[in-house]
A and B are shown apart, each in its own frame.
Chain A
């Protein structure tokens, strides 16, 4: 969502080359930026150099700088195991599914909201469906636990018996259910939020189009398919492209908190981000997870560039750069 925000202004920027650059006169403007630039240097640029540690055999006793160089060994180990395949597959497939279905659901919700004419109801719906976005993933994991806990969960104790299933299901150790569970949680948390963006765009559509269509006898449904959707297509494409640029990055909280880091669920819940995190926290292999982190940064970088290039061809104003 956010990339669209920054978009327009960037292009309009650097066209004042002819003016003489007068540093002294504008020193205050430069001084203002110092805290932010210093922060970016330490928080963002210094760690970029840190990717060299993926090529080292990290040994905390020797210190990072003095650890031995091992070239591509970490990457070799990583790609020799099935881990690399699983985490890449999971990251990409979940994201693709989230992008496609998420967009449809959010757009559908926006269109429904647009049909609700009662102001009070409209406001209440907006408020309620955006609320899940506000809740931390830690709390969400509790909500899911209340439903799915094997011994005390609502599903096993109340819902399944309705269908005559008395044994219950060990949700937290059966990997096959998790693509569905994680998708539901993701949509629950994000659809309301993203629908607001589409809804704002819908409000911007000129009422005259609809009036003209009504005069021609188009019913409400026809108006949606023939006016609303075509007008929304550019914003849909843009948002999709921008999400595709981030397809190598997963919603870390969702994949780490909600399955409660259960090892039995590795096959369907592990993504690149959780893999790197577990490596750092000591429950995985640090060398391999550092390599996975670098792999993510580099592939992710090219994907953002590619997505941006596509957006740029489509609409210059909305490209990130």
Chain B
């Protein structure tokens, strides 16, 4: 009995090691390829061990770092702003819906649920944001379409409030004369940090990774997020040179284009890969909160 448990444990560990390796290996190829000399790539292709080590790609990108920095600026601003506003609006709608006293609560819940069942689709949304609000080529086009990423977050938070915040607590606060806002701020929110953190994190990841809004609404290179810049570079490696350097033809000739592509991807992925060990605990908790009801 004991031994079959141990055997299964060992087998599980081995399979999981392989799985974990499969998750990491592509990143190693990416990093190695970005550190390989351009001629070596042309001769031998991308490989896990650089045939000829070279940091040319990074030197090249560093020289033309201004648009990468700007793209990071756009991404950081959009992520921070969108997440803060998104979490605030989600909380403000989820809290009343968790309270049985709220008039017409059933109607409001239906209004949210219906958005989860039916949507107009991409083209009508595009027309609303470009024709009615004129958001095309503004930074708001990267933020507004994702603010309430989806109805699930509102319902998730509402469920959390209902199952975690005892109504008696709210009642006693209000008997002491606390207003609704006061109650929410100093009674409800302090005990709801896990759900705020989970939803905030998922919203932030959405914004950080979003490329679709940028692709639909942004054509000005100054407003590209890091994802859009990556997309653009893959489509056209000359983008950086033609748009940003004055002596573009010379730059293009020297450009280590195959390694630059990979170096760009490393630069795009690096912040998340570096930050992940620090927030992975919360990420995994968040997945569980999001999946297990309440």
Residues of A at the B interface (CB closer than 8 Å) are 1-10, 12-14, 16, 19, 21-23, 26, 28-30, 32-33, 35-37, 39-40, 42-51, 53, 64, 109, 112-113, 115-118, 121, 124-132, 134-139, 141-143, 145-147, 149, 151-154, 156-158, 188, 192-193, 196-197, 200-201, 214, 217, 219-221, 252-253, 257, 260, 273, 276-277, 279-281, 286, 289-290, 293-294, 296-297, 300-301, 304-305, 317-318, 320-321
Among A50, A219, A296, point to the contact of B124 (Cβ < 8 A).
A50
Knowing A30-B96, A116-B13, the reply to whether A125 touches B124 (Cβ < 8 A) is no
Among residues of A, the one whose C-beta sits closest to the C-beta of B125 is: A47
Among residues of A, the one whose C-beta sits closest to the C-beta of B159 is: A9
Q: How far is the CA of A233 from the CA of B30 in the complex (A)?
A: 40
Among A116, A136, A157, point to the contact of B16 (Cβ < 8 A).
A116
B258 nearest CB across to chain A (Å): 5
List residues of chain A with CB within 8 A of the CB of B117. Answer: 301, 304-305
9 contacts between A and B (CB under 8 A): A1-B287, A40-B112, A50-B125, A124-B20, A136-B211, A154-B29, A156-B45, A277-B216, A317-B293
A161 nearest CB across to chain B (Å): 10
Q: Determine whether the beta carbon of B1 is less than 8 Å from that of A214.
A: yes
Q: Determine whether the beta carbon of B45 is less than 8 Å from that of A7.
A: no
Q: How far is the CA of A223 from the CA of B93 in the complex (A)?
A: 45
Residues of B at the A interface (CB closer than 8 Å) are 1, 4-5, 8-9, 11-13, 15-16, 19-20, 22-24, 26-27, 29-30, 33, 41-42, 44-48, 89-90, 92-93, 95-106, 108-109, 111-113, 115-128, 131-133, 144-145, 147-148, 150-152, 154-156, 158-159, 162-163, 179-181, 184, 205, 208-212, 215-216, 227, 230-231, 234, 258, 261-262, 264-265, 268-269, 272-273, 276-277, 280, 283-284, 287-294
Knowing A124-B20, A281-B215, the reply to whether A142 touches B30 (Cβ < 8 A) is yes
List residues of chain B with CB within 8 A of the CB of A154. Answer: 29, 45-48
Q: Determine whether the beta carbon of A142 is less than 8 Å from that of B156.
A: no
Q: Determine whether the beta carbon of B231 is less than 8 Å from that of A138.
A: yes
Q: How far is the CA of A23 from the CA of B156 in the complex (A)?
A: 26
List residues of chain B with CB within 8 A of the CB of A318. Answer: 293
Q: How far is the CA of A57 from the CA of B168 in the complex (A)?
A: 59
Most chain B CB within a 10 A radius of its CB, from A35, A129, A152: A152
List residues of chain B with CB within 8 A of the CB of A14. Answer: 105-106, 109
Among residues of B, the one whose C-beta sits closest to the C-beta of A290 is: B123
Q: Determine whether the beta carbon of B20 is less than 8 Å from that of A125.
A: yes
Most chain A CB within a 10 A radius of its CB, from B154, B211, B261, B272: B211
Among residues of A, the one whose C-beta sits closest to the C-beta of B109 is: A13
Q: How far is the CA of A196 from the CA of B41 in the complex (A)?
A: 38
A308 nearest CB across to chain B (Å): 8
Q: Determine whether the beta carbon of B105 is less than 8 Å from that of A253.
A: no
Q: Determine whether the beta carbon of A35 is less than 8 Å from that of B23.
A: no
Q: How far is the CA of A37 from the CA of B151 in the complex (A)?
A: 11
A220 nearest CB across to chain B (Å): 5
Q: How far is the CA of A32 from the CA of B4 in the complex (A)?
A: 58
Among residues of A, the one whose C-beta sits closest to the C-beta of B148 is: A39
A284 nearest CB across to chain B (Å): 11
List residues of chain B with CB within 8 A of the CB of A196. Answer: 284, 287-288, 291
Q: Determine whether the beta carbon of B16 is less than 8 Å from that of A113.
A: yes
Among A13, A135, A145, point to the contact of B106 (Cβ < 8 A).
A13
Q: How far is the CA of A49 from the CA of B131 in the complex (A)?
A: 14
Q: How far is the CA of A276 from the CA of B212 in the complex (A)?
A: 13
Among A127, A188, A201, point to the contact of B292 (Cβ < 8 A).
A201
